[in-house]
Amino acid sequence: MVTRREGNTDRRETALPLQKDEETANGMYYHVSFYDLQCANHITPTPVSFALQAEELNNAYRCGIRDAIIVNVSNVKPHLAAISLLADFWRDGVSDGDTSLKKYISSYFSDDPDSVIAFMNCYCEASLSFGQHEDNKGGDQAAAFPVRMLASSWVRGEQKCADYAFILDASLDEQVKDYHSRAMKAASAYSSLLDDIDDHGVSQLLSDDFRYAVEWFSFAYNGACCFTDAYKAYRENRLEDALVLLGDAAVSYDRADDALKKPCHDKWEGFFSNDALTDTSAMVALMKNLMEWVRIIGDGPGFWRWQRDLTYPEEDRNVVLITNYEKRMSAYEMYLVYKTRMSEDPKL
C-alpha cells in the first residue's frame, strides 16, 4: 500500500507502519474505487487483480492494520467482488484472492463459476496500463480523462499536455501517439473478451453486474482510438477525415453510454443516470464540439463545401449555384448522412 498519485507527482511512499505496534490501534483507508484521480473506476469493477488486492491486505495485516477499515467505494453495486474480499479480510484476518473470488462468484453466479472467474481475470488483464507498476491499472476514467486532457491541449495549441505528464512527459504528438497505443491494446482486449462472453452465454445477473462493464470499455476505448486517429488526421491536414473520425468517436462513446443503460431495469432503473465523474455522455458532447471546431478551421467561412463532399452524390458535388438554396447542417448531421450513404454504397 502506497500514497496516492496527485497530478504528476507519484511518490509511492509506503502507507504502512514500519513495524507492528501492539499497543496502538491501527486501521486503513482503502480505495476500492477512486484510487487514481484520473484513472479511477466508478461505474465499473476494479481493474486490479484479486491476487494483488489480497497481497496488499495481507501485508497490511502483518504490519498490524487490524482494528478498522474505512472503505472508499463510489457505488456499491459495481464493486461487490472487491468488497467481498475486504469482508473476508475483516472476518478472517488474512485474505486469499483466489478463494475469495471463487466464494463470491459461487454465491452470486452459481452456474459455471470457473468460466466466470476466467472472465473476471481476463477483465483485469485487459485494463489499460498507465505506468510501470502492477497497480497502475486504468478504470473507466482512463478511457475518458486522458482524452479530455489531450483534447484541451490540442484546441489550445499547446506543444505538450502538462496533465498527461504522469503517463508521458513529451510533445503533444508523442503523448497522443502514446495514448493511442495504450487505448488500442485495451480496446482489442476488451472486444475479444466481450466476444468470448457472448459466445459462452451468460445469465441476466452476470450480464447486469459484469458484462455491461466489458461492453462499456470496448466501446469507450474504441472512441478514444478514433479520437487519436482524428488528431493524427488533423496534424496531417486531412481535416475532413478528422471530422469523420471524431464522428466515429462520438458514436462509440454513445454506444458505451448505451451499455450503461442495459443493466438499469426493474429496481435498478436509472442506477447509472448520474454518471457524473467519468461522464460518458459528456464524452459524446466533447467529440461533437471538436467536430464543429475542426469544421470552422477547415470549412469556414462558407461552411458549404464539406456538406457537399459528405452528403451529395459524386456527380453533383461540383455543380455549384451562385447562391445557397439549403440550410447548413451541423457537423454531426453531415456525418450521419455521410455514414448512411457509405453503408448503402461503400465505394463512395
pLDDT of 228-257, one tens digit each?
Answer: 999 999 999 999 999 999 999 999 999 999
Task: Based on the fold, state whether residues 160 and 206 are members of the same structural domain.
Answer: yes
List the grid coordinates of 158.
Answer: 499547446
Domain assignment present for residue 109? The answer is yes
Residue 6: pLDDT above 80? no
Mean pLDDT to the nearest integer, 202-224: 97
Residue 37: pLDDT above 70? no
The pLDDT value recorded for residue 321 is 64
Task: Based on the fold, state whether residues 314 and 259 are members of the same structural domain.
Answer: no
3-state helix, strand, coil in the chain (%, to 5): 60, 5, 35
The pLDDT value recorded for residue 12 is 75
8 A C-beta contact, residue 194 and residue 234: no
SS3 202: coil
Q: What is the mean pLDDT of the chain?
A: 91
| The model's pTM | 0.93
Backbone angles phi, psi at 9, to 5 degrees: -100, 120
The Cα 87–Cα 217 span in angstroms is 27
Residue 286: pLDDT above 60? yes
Distances (CA, A) of 279 to 110, 155, 215: 33, 20, 16
In the chain, the number of structural domains is: 2
Residue 323: pLDDT above 60? no
Task: Based on the fold, state whether residues 267 and 178 are members of the same structural domain.
Answer: yes
8 A C-beta contact, residue 130 and residue 149: no
Mean pLDDT to the nearest integer, 15-22: 75
Mean pLDDT to the nearest integer, 91-112: 85
Split at pLDDT 50, 70, 90, the class of 148 is very high
Task: Based on the fold, state whether residues 170 and 311 are members of the same structural domain.
Answer: no
Task: Based on the fold, state whether residues 324 and 286 are members of the same structural domain.
Answer: no
8 A C-beta contact, residue 79 and residue 42: no
Task: Based on the fold, state whether residues 262 and 320 are members of the same structural domain.
Answer: no
Split at pLDDT 50, 70, 90, the class of 297 is very high
* Percentage, residues of the chain above pLDDT 90: 66
Task: Based on the fold, state whether residues 47 and 66 are members of the same structural domain.
Answer: yes
Domain assignment present for residue 11? The answer is no
Task: Based on the fold, state whether residues 243 and 228 are members of the same structural domain.
Answer: yes
Task: Based on the fold, state whether residues 173 and 204 are members of the same structural domain.
Answer: yes
Task: Based on the fold, state whether residues 184 and 108 are members of the same structural domain.
Answer: yes
The Cα 336–Cα 310 span in angstroms is 9
H-assigned helices in 262-279: none
The pLDDT value recorded for residue 153 is 99
The Cα 341–Cα 343 span in angstroms is 5
List the grid coordinates of 200.
Answer: 459462452
DSSP sequence for 316-347 = GTT---SS--SPPPPHHHHHHHHHHHHHH-TT
153-176: burial string, b at 16+ Cβ within 10 Å, e else: bbeeeeebbebbebbbeeebeebb
The pLDDT value recorded for residue 324 is 61
Backbone angles phi, psi at 77, to 5 degrees: -55, -45
The Cα 32–Cα 42 span in angstroms is 9
Residue span of the structural domain in which 111 resides: 27-298
Task: Based on the fold, state whether residues 274 and 333 are members of the same structural domain.
Answer: no
